[in-house]
């Protein structure tokens, strides 16, 4: 536990500095468009779900992308949503959008692998400012997502067949939504390196936890600075120990702090995208404790695979990967 405490201390100390850098670099590295000119929104008005702050865009193999609006059956019918196919809802994180790789890489992987309804949840206008307002925005986005899912399940889509995939703050958006749905349990939530800053001390209903879906699986890639070390799901994967990732620049290289943050934190969704195309890419070893997982002292072979596959048994797991894509050590 001592090592864990030190690790948490380090992460906490680093976080305030890092967040500043994160706020500026994450945006700059990813922005391909001119800055948005929206007025600052009232992010705490949870009753306001009628506006355009959140958009759900459906992608399928057969139809062009189409926006689905809550309570609008015509938009659903026109979109090409096909209830025979599995539905994936992908939720980006802080200062991101569905134009970024967190969505595009995973959406493309699904489109290449089979017939899916892949919904990109774009809540960029609620998380485009500084981090603390985005934490408020995540609550509001979670509430809007819950309304969307309630409505969708009323149209005949089974809640327990839905799979939400959220990165960073987006993982908590998924958890907040899962908590608020009263008519049943969502089938699965995958948390990709769930954000730590602002979430260590908050109540379970305001962040992702095991009660939010039938299966909650987590991929931890950057515990050292940005994400949560403690297990949060039924299944927690610690690829390469989960503290940082091979092939990413070191955080202590001051010229590459931004690149280091983005690279380590993004690795979670690149692993996930690879696992969509290759379900057996990441065969895992079972660990008896978080410390074992962090330091790779796990030896028990399993048939549990990190990512899209659903061959799950609850517990903590360790996987080694390559430093460059394809990240899988097998079948290369």
Ligand X SMILES: *[C@@H]1O[C@H](CO)[C@@H](O)[C@H](O)[C@H]1NC(C)=O
Active site residue 284: no
Lay out the site mask for ligand X across 21-60 (x = CB under 6 A, - = otherwise). ---------------------x-xx-xx-x----------
In DSSP terms, which residues pair with 87 in a beta bridge? 117, 162
Q: Indicate the pairing of strand 55-59 with strand 66-68.
A: antiparallel
Residue closer to ligand X, measured from CB, 84 or 324: 84
The three-state secondary structure class of 183 is: coil
Segment interacting with ligand X (CB under 6 A) among 3-11, 20-28, 78-86, 148-156: 78-86
Active site residue 220: no
Burial (CB count within 10 angstroms: exposed 0-12, middle 13-18, buried 19+), residue 220: buried
Lay out the site mask for ligand X across 113-152 (x = CB under 6 A, - = otherwise). --x-------------------------------------
Segment interacting with ligand X (CB under 6 A) among 82-90, 160-168, 178-186, 311-319: 82-90
Residue found under tokens 């959220």: 166
Closest approach of ligand X to the CB of residue 115, in Å:
4
Query: Which tokens go with 51?
Result: 């506006």
Q: Is 311 in the site for ligand X (CB under 6 A)?
A: no
- Considering only 84, 183, 324, 331, the residue that binds ligand X (CB under 6 A) is 84
Q: Is 155 in the site for ligand X (CB under 6 A)?
A: no
Residue closer to ligand X, measured from CB, 30 or 85: 85
Burial (CB count within 10 angstroms: exposed 0-12, middle 13-18, buried 19+), residue 99: middle
Q: What is the dihedral of CA 95, 60, 237, 214, to 10 degrees?
A: 100
Active site residue 168: yes
Residue found under tokens 């998380």: 127
Helices (H) and strands (E) in the chain, counts: 7, 11
Q: Is 6 in the site for ligand X (CB under 6 A)?
A: no
Q: Would the CA dihedral through 151, 153, 155, 157 be positive or negative? A: positive
- Which residues are identified as catalytic? 168, 193, 265
State the residues that interact with ligand X by CB under 6 A. 42, 44-45, 47-48, 50, 62, 82, 84-85, 115
């Amino acid at each position: 536990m001592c090592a864990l405490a030190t690790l948490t201390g380090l992460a906490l100390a680093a976080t305030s500095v890092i967040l500043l850098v994160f706020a500026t670099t994450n945006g700059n590295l990813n922005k391909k468009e001119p800055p948005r000119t929206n007025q600052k929104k009232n992010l705490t008005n949870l009753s306001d779900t009628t506006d355009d702050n959140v958009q759900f865009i459906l992608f399928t193999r057969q139809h062009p992308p189409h926006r689905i609006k809550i309570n609008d059956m015509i938009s659903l019918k026109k979109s090409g949503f096909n209830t025979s196919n599995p539905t994936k809802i992908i939720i980006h994180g802080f200062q991101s959008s569905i134009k970024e790789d967190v969505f595009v890489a995973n959406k493309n992987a699904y489109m290449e692998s089979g017939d899916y309804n892949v919904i990109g949840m774009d809540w960029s206008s609620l998380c485009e400012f500084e981090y603390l307002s985005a934490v408020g925005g995540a609550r509001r986005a979670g509430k809007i997502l819950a309304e969307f899912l309630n409505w969708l399940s009323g149209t005949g889509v089974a809640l327990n067949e839905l799979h939400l995939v959220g990165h960073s703050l987006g993982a908590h958006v998924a958890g907040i939504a899962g908590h608020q749905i009263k008519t049943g349990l969502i089938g699965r939530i995958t948390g990709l390196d769930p954000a730590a800053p602002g979430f260590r001390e908050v109540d379970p209903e305001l962040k992702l936890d095991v009660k939010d879906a039938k299966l909650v699986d987590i991929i931890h890639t950057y515990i050292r600075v940005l994400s949560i070390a403690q297990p949060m799901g039924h299944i927690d994967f610690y690829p390469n120990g989960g503290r940082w990732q091979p092939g990413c620049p070191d955080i202590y290289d001051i010229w590459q702090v931004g690149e280091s943050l983005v690279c380590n934190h993004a690795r979670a969704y690149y692993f996930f995208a690879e696992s969509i195309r290759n379900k057996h890419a990441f065969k895992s070893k079972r660990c008896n404790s978080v410390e074992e997982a962090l330091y790779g002292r796990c030896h028990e072979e399993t048939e549990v695979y990190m990512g899209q596959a659903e061959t799950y048994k609850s517990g903590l797991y360790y996987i080694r990967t390559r430093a460059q894509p394809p990240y899988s050590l097998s079948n290369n």
